[in-house]
């Protein structure tokens, strides 16, 4: 059995004929009793603004009409019309034809794409959380169409790669969160590039986590404006030493810049500034906040309302960060209203994965009765909120229960905005626009796949799940009826062995195709590129033979030296590095060493000649006893003659 992506093989699936019984757990999770699809319930598209694609279709059809009338208007018809016809009738006909297609009445919609970080399905008031009020997110929920069965990957980088490309993360090279596997292949065509090519101003504010160096930074991948942190998070080992969520150093268009204030406030300020500057042009804003990801840094003022509620010490910090986010979303969404662009802006809200549970959070943190958490392929790890708002076009409060995935959002946004990419784009996802606007009468039967685990190469079935409308296979053995048992409490694999075999075969075909794409090899980091100088390397992107969540072990970077010649190399050690021993640098035949000095963390190698081309760059500390350990940062700049 060969795997076929949904675009290559769309089998017929009629949503109106699929109604299933609903369990008590399903209702307890905050789902609506009306499991039948909104189409079957008779929902209709609100009459109002047409989509840009519809408008484009009218323009094309009317242009054909105009071409037929041109000889008449010029008086070149073989059968001339009476003068009164040309003066009275033709203007009336043209007025009727032109009226519905005036471009200024239907400008291309803006896009505000909101992605939160480690926000669980239950971390919203509108999803039944008893501890936290999220009035802005709840209001957005009320004003939006909801995708109730919307899935992402178990951790952030794979989800972000899927979001940017509309393709499974294994195709893109960005399928883990570090170890050199959080760098997206630069030849991937991103949603930002598509909107940029269509004349939109594009900006990202917050978290990228698809590569810190050229050619994998956001400014290399279609964004005109980028204010982001490095790596997986502020204060992580890819970041500037000593950085915190308060007044951090961020990357502004590839250069470090110091900002004042709390990180989410800063990202919101920058997004608002960008939107204000784009009021005369269509804009695509990717607001990718880094909260509530750890470290859980938030002003103590946000914690008071959670005192005495029996929560773990960490959970109030998560909720405090979400309260701050809710306030900032009020500012961001309010700016759309203030500028008069609310009705012409598609707002899309989702999270990148399930909640990151800490210590005893499993018992006390509300997750809408879902099983699992971040890193797992049970529902608690991969089911996320997904709201889509477009006033006057998409019906507020309408629920769509078809399964959908983050790989669908790129083609969906293109469809909603009427954008045709200038180059062929092979998506694994499909456009959800027919579902969102109520036009779908049939829908393809789909099987979606989810997988993530540590290691340099993915392993078949390891922490993997396959889901169709009714059934979900977890790894190779557990089977759940997602209609009767959305809480995944009862393994029914023994009762339905034929379903297990079908889903296994589908997964195996999918995994084989993913493996053949690029053989899971990471893309090299460019050294000496005219687009980035200096180049800063961190443990975020190095590779090692042993997999470890921490960064202290020695590793190497896969690099590609664009310009050979002499380079100045600065090395920053970890604070707990050995006080006696030696520091070493190696790339091919280029080797440099120096003895360690007590209480010294910064070292410089001058005029180290680097060879052109690809290679493995190593930099390590060796203690007097022969133990190796890695370094904190390596900065390389080509020396000019």
Task: Find out whether 351 and 118 touch, Cβ atoms under 8 Å.
Answer: yes
Share of the chain above pLDDT 70, in %: 81
Claim to verify: residue 222 and residue 253 sit in the same structural domain: yes
Tell me the pLDDT tens digit for each residue of 594-634.
Answer: 999 988 999 999 999 999 999 999 999 999 888 889 999 99
Residue 364 pLDDT? 75
Domain boundary among 401, 421, 450: 450
Claim to verify: residue 274 and residue 395 sit in the same structural domain: yes
Judge whether 463 lies within some domain.
no
Claim to verify: residue 533 and residue 424 sit in the same structural domain: no
For tokens 């709840």, the residue is: 138
Lowest pLDDT segment from 94-98, 186-190, 555-559:
94-98
Residue 71 pLDDT? 31
* Domain of residue 85, residue span: 52-105
Claim to verify: residue 228 and residue 125 sit in the same structural domain: yes
Judge whether 210 lies within some domain.
yes
Claim to verify: residue 262 and residue 218 sit in the same structural domain: yes
pLDDT tier for residue 94 given thresholds of 50, 70 and 90: very low
Cα four-point dihedral sign 34, 37, 43, 49 = positive
Q: What is the mean pLDDT of residues 528-546?
A: 89
Domain boundary among 416, 450, 484: 450
Claim to verify: residue 86 and residue 123 sit in the same structural domain: no
Residue 552 pLDDT? 57
Domain boundary among 450, 465, 497: 450
pLDDT tops 90 at residue 33: no
Claim to verify: residue 117 and residue 244 sit in the same structural domain: yes
Residue 252 pLDDT? 99
In eight-state DSSP terms, residue 328 is H
Q: In whole angstroms, what is the distance from residue 374 CA to residue 156 CA?
A: 9
Give the CATH number of the domain where residue 582 resides.
2.60.120.260
Q: What is the mean pLDDT of residues 497-503?
A: 98
Judge whether 515 lies within some domain.
no
Judge whether 350 lies within some domain.
yes
Spell out the alpha helix ranges (H) of 232-314: 263-277
Considering 212-226, 354-368, 621-635, the range whose residues carry the highest mean pLDDT is: 212-226
> E strand or H helix at 410, and its extent?
helix 409-417
Lowest pLDDT segment from 45-54, 204-213, 319-328, 609-618:
45-54
* Helices and strands per DSSP (H, E), number in the chain: 15, 24
Lowest pLDDT segment from 52-61, 277-286, 349-358, 527-536:
52-61
Q: What is the mean pLDDT of residues 154-182?
A: 95
Residue 80 pLDDT? 41
DSSP reduced 3-state for 522: coil
Structure tokens at 561: 């030296």
Claim to verify: residue 99 and residue 141 sit in the same structural domain: no
229, 245, 246, 378, 575 from 242: Cα distances, Å = 13, 10, 11, 36, 11
Cα four-point dihedral sign 334, 335, 338, 339 = negative
Residue among 529, 460, 583, 495 at smallest CA distance from 220: 529
Judge whether 509 lies within some domain.
no
Judge whether 23 lies within some domain.
no
Q: What are phi and psi of 448, to 5 degrees?
A: -100, 150
Residues in a beta bridge with 123: none
> E strand or H helix at 569, and its extent?
strand 565-572
Tell me the pLDDT tens digit for each residue of 423-440.
Answer: 778 999 999 999 999 998
Residue 575 pLDDT? 87
Task: Tell me the residue length of the chain.
Answer: 641
Task: Find out whether 223 and 207 touch, Cβ atoms under 8 Å.
Answer: no
Q: What is the mean pLDDT of residues 95-108?
A: 47
Give the CATH number of the domain where residue 416 resides.
3.40.720.10
Claim to verify: residue 257 and residue 291 sit in the same structural domain: yes
> E strand or H helix at 276, and its extent?
helix 263-277
Residue 29 pLDDT? 38
Structure tokens at 187: 């030849």
Number of independent structural domains in the chain: 3
Claim to verify: residue 436 and residue 578 sit in the same structural domain: no
Mean pLDDT of the chain: 84
Cα 130 to the chain's mean position, in Å?
A: 28
Judge whether 530 lies within some domain.
yes
Q: What is the mean pLDDT of residues 168-195?
A: 94
Residue 189 pLDDT? 96
pLDDT tops 90 at residue 550: no
Residue 394 pLDDT? 98
Residue among 19, 23, 15, 173 at smallest CA distance from 487: 23
Residue 360 pLDDT? 59
* Gyration radius (Cα) of the chain, Å: 27
DSSP reduced 3-state for 305: helix
DSSP reduced 3-state for 177: coil
Claim to verify: residue 539 and residue 599 sit in the same structural domain: yes
Task: Find out whether 504 and 473 touch, Cβ atoms under 8 Å.
Answer: yes
pLDDT tops 70 at residue 446: yes
Judge whether 20 lies within some domain.
no
pLDDT tops 90 at residue 407: yes
Residue 425 pLDDT? 83
Residue 114 pLDDT? 99
The C-alpha angle with vertex 208 and arms to 206 and 211, in degrees rounded to 5, equals: 145
Interior/surface letters 15-32, b for 16+ CB within 10 angstroms, e for the rest: beebeeebbebbeebbbe
Three-state secondary structure of 28-47:
HCCCCCCCCCCCCCCCCCCC
Considering 28-32, 82-86, 248-252, the range whose residues carry the highest mean pLDDT is: 248-252
Claim to verify: residue 75 and residue 145 sit in the same structural domain: no
Give every CB contact of residue 457 below 8 A, 6+ residues apart in sequence: 520
């Amino acid at each position: 059995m060969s795997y076929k992506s949904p675009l290559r093989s769309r089998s017929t699936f009629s949503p109106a004929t699929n109604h299933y019984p609903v369990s008590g757990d399903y209702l307890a999770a905050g789902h609506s009793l009306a499991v039948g699809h909104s189409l079957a319930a008779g929902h209709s598209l609100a009459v109002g603004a047409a989509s840009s694609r519809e408008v484009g279709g009218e323009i094309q059809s009317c242009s054909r009409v105009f071409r037929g009338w041109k000889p008449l208007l010029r008086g070149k018809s073989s059968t001339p019309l009476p003068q009164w016809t040309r003066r009275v009738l033709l203007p009336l006909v043209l007025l009727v034809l032109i009226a519905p297609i005036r471009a200024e009445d239907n400008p291309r919609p803006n896009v505000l794409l909101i992605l939160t970080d480690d926000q669980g399905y239950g971390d919203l008031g509108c999803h039944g959380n008893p501890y936290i009020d999220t009035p802005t997110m709840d209001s957005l929920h009320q004003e939006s169409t909801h995708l109730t069965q919307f899935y992402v990957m178990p951790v952030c980088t794979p989800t972000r790669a899927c979001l940017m490309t509309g393709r499974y993360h294994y195709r893109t090279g960005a399928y883990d969160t570090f170890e050199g596997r959080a760098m997206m292949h630069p030849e991937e065509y991103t949603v930002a590039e598509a909107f940029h090519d269509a004349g939109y101003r594009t900006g990202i504010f917050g978290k990228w986590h698809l590569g810190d160096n050229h050619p994998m930074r956001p400014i290399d991948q279609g964004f005109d404006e980028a204010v982001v942190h490095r790596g997986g998070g502020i204060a992580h080992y890819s970041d500037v030493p000593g950085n915190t969520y308060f007044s951090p150093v961020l990357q502004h268009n590839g250069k470090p810049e110091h900002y004042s204030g709390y990180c989410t406030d800063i990202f919101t300020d920058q997004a608002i500034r960008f939107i204000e500057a784009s009021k005369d042009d269509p804009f695509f804003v990717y607001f990718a906040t880094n909260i509530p990801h750890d470290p859980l840094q938030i002003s103590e003022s946000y914690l008071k309302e959670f005192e005495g509620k029996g929560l773990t010490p960490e959970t109030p910090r998560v909720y405090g960060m979400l309260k701050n986010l809710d306030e900032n979303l009020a500012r961001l969404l309010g700016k759309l209203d203030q500028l008069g662009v609310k009705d012409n802006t598609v707002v899309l809200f989702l999270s990148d994965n399930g909640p990151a549970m800490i210590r005893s959070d499993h018992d006390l943190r509300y997750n809408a009765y879902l099983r699992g958490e971040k890193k797992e392929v049970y529902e608690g790890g991969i089911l996320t909120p997904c709201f889509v708002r477009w006033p006057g076009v998409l019906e507020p409060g309408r629920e769509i229960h078809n399964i959908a995935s983050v790989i669908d959002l790129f083609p969906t946004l293109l469809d909603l905005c009427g954008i045709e990419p200038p180059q062929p784009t092979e998506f694994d996802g499909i456009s959800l626009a027919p579902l969102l606007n109520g036009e779908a009468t049939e829908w393809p039967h789909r099987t979606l796949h989810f997988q993530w685990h540590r290691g340099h190469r993915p392993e078949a079935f390891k922490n993997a799940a396959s889901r169709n409308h009714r059934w979900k296979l977890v790894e190779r053995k557990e089977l759940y009826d997602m209609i009767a048992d959305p809480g995944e409490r009862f393994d029914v694999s023994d009762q339905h062995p034929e379903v297990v075999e079908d889903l296994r075969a589908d997964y195996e075909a999918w995994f084989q195709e993913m493996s053949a794409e690029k053989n899971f090899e990471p893309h090299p980091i460019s050294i000496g590129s005219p687009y980035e100088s200096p180049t800063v390397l961190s443990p975020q992107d190095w590779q090692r033979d042993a997999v470890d969540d921490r960064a202290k072990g020695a590793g190497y970077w896969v690099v590609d030296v664009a310009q050979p010649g002499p380079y100045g190399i600065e090395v920053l050690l970890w604070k707990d590095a050995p006080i006696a021993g030696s520091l070493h640098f190696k790339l091919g035949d280029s080797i440099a060493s120096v003895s360690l000095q007590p209480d010294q963390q910064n070292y410089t190698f001058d005029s180290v000649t680097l060879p052109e081309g690809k290679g493995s760059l190593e930099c390590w500390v060796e203690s007097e006893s022969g133990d190796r350990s890695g370094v904190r940062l390596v900065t390389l700049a080509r020396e000019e003659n």
